[in-house]
Amino acid sequence: MPTVVPQFLRPRIGKVCVAIIGTTPAEMLEKASAVIKDTPFLEFRLDYLEKPLLALPKIKQFLADNTAVTAIATCRRTANGGKFDGAVAAQLDVLTKAAASGFQIADIEIESAEALKKGDLQKLRETGIALILSYHDFAGTKDLDATFARLQPFEPDFYKIVPTAKTLSDNVTLIRFLERMSDHTNIIGICMGDAGVISRVLGVRAGSAFTFAAASPGEETGPGQIASRTLLDTYRIDQVDTATKVYGVAGNPIRSSLSPIMMNTAFRRETVNAVYLALQATKLPDLLKLVHEIPIQGFSVTMPLKQEIMAHLEKTDPLSAKIGACNTVLRQEGKLYGFNTDVAGITGPLEKRLSLRGAKVLVLGAGGAARAAVFGVRDKGADVFILNRTPETAQKLARQSGSKTIKKEALPKTTFDVIINATPIGMAGQKGAQMLEAKDLNTKLVFDLVYNPLETPLLRLARQQNIPIITGIEMFVQQGARQFEIFTGKPAPEEEMLRVVIHALRQQAESTTEAAPAVKAKKKA
């Protein structure tokens, strides 16, 4: 039978449990000490240690010194996605000794529970420790009711059900399951994977007892896990409730997008009860299902969906209709309305520096962002040339916009007032050769719409030739500010949005620089 321990634990359990990893007890305890000021609910991943039993005395002392901490002992076996290569009996021994070391909760996977002899699990429970029985599916999201039925005979104190979101709709499956099981206040439900971010933020609102977070970026114990500071500060998970409106940014890839930190900062600054999520969307029908099911009140659209989304909108602003691409969608009374804020994000920064009337502009690319650039500067009277790796797409956009195409061979002997990169080349995480070389930059100004990293290869090339530049941050914040106003009807806190984006990019640059020597050392070893 379940123990009554969870009733005593309930007031000690927050919405976020931080997973602590480390290869030595000292490393683990250092990380735990840094986290407990903000989040005293911790999971010690004992399976990350070479000899977990030898670490328990030190952890016991730590727990005795920090009585506000509520600790989960997890020693996940390699067969079930962990790092512990011992037998099930050895795993049980670690968890039993963890109970004697001050841990209040033990997490054991269903496969281990089923493999144990009858009565072995009961001995663990007789220590007084509360039991989480967990199920992980690294392949997808299947019948969650059947999963619950499989766990139920063991009558654990907490049921932990963790499928993998292969699609955005898988989050809906999990959330609906949590809502159906609302009578059970002891179910933990999370979707793994990049597409599962939604469940990690909204799962608690739907009925999950709590969610798990990494101690810091790079220390994730499951695919798609979010750092605790991000969950608490950016997504404000403690404040997400049934009245919280949900927004997001949809595209592929979306992992490196800074839209969530920018928009959530703006929501917090303007005291808007809303949360803005990263929506990893590989297929548009999947995104649209999520939008209507959650429901999502509005979303930003990034590559490669800016043109494809047009066919699914009730109505668009004249700019989106003209360009044939939309980057902002508002949902009202179940219908979707489209807007384009990219154009203002491109023409605004340019007009601060030069008159576009009669200016000679080269646009790289022919996708959604390029269409916004081409139509935007053409409307201001610029003479536009388009260079794209697929000439047919460039020719089509040139015909539609009254522009011209140009071949790469012609660039060294052609001068421009502005070169605009509207391709993803140079973006963090993107691979591919640069379109332009130093000899091609015969221009007075270079504008790269890529905002991450701070200095793209194209901008670095321009700086080396003393050509003035416009970074993608200006465009990114400008278009985001207009989106915020469409979503909320409030003026956007542009300065705060700009500040947080620059800060995030600098932090990323610093962490990349710090990581580089370690990678080199590893290769030498």
Q: What string of DSSP letters covers 354-396?
A: S--TT-EEEEE--SHHHHHHHHHHHHTT-EEEEE-SSHHHHHH
Q: What is the model's pLDDT at position 256?
A: 84
Q: What is the model's pLDDT at position 516?
A: 52
Sheet strands side by side (includes 130-136): 187-189, 158-162, 130-136, 105-109, 70-74, 41-45, 16-20, 211-214
Catalytic residue among 306, 396, 408, 431: 306
Fold of 5-243: TIM Barrel (3.20.20)
Sequence-distant (≥ 6) Cβ neighbours of residue 467 within 8 angstroms: 441, 443, 444, 445, 446
Same fold, 5-243 and 343-477: no
State pLDDT tens for residues 336-377.
999 999 999 999 999 999 999 999 999 999 998 999 999 999
| DSSP string across 125-181 | HTTT-EEEEEEE-SS----HHHHHHHHGGG--SEEEEE-B-SSTHHHHHHHHHHHHT
Fold of 248-341: Rossmann fold (3.40.50)
pTM (predicted TM-score): 0.89
Element (H, E) at 60: helix 52-65
Structure tokens at 465: 């030739």
Is 306 an annotated catalytic residue? yes
Q: Domain limits of the chain?
A: 5-243, 248-341, 343-477
Contacts 24+ apart (CB under 8 A), 292-295: 292/334, 293/169, 293/172, 294/172, 294/175, 294/198, 294/202, 294/246, 295/246, 295/331, 295/334
3-state secondary structure at position 321: helix
Q: Which CATH superfamily is domain 343-477 in?
A: NAD(P)-binding Rossmann-like Domain (3.40.50.720)
Cα(274)–Cα(277) distance, rounded to whole angstroms?
10
State pLDDT tens for residues 409-445.
999 999 999 999 999 999 987 777 899 999 999 999 9
| 522, pLDDT greater than 70 | no
| 525, pLDDT greater than 60 | no
Q: Half-sphere exposure of residue 279, counting CA atoms within 13 Å on the CB side?
A: 33
State pLDDT tens for residues 118-173.
899 999 999 999 999 999 999 999 999 999 999 999 999 999 999 999 999 999 99
Quick check: 515 and 523 in contact, CB under 8 A? no
Residue that the structure tokens 């509520």 belong to: 70
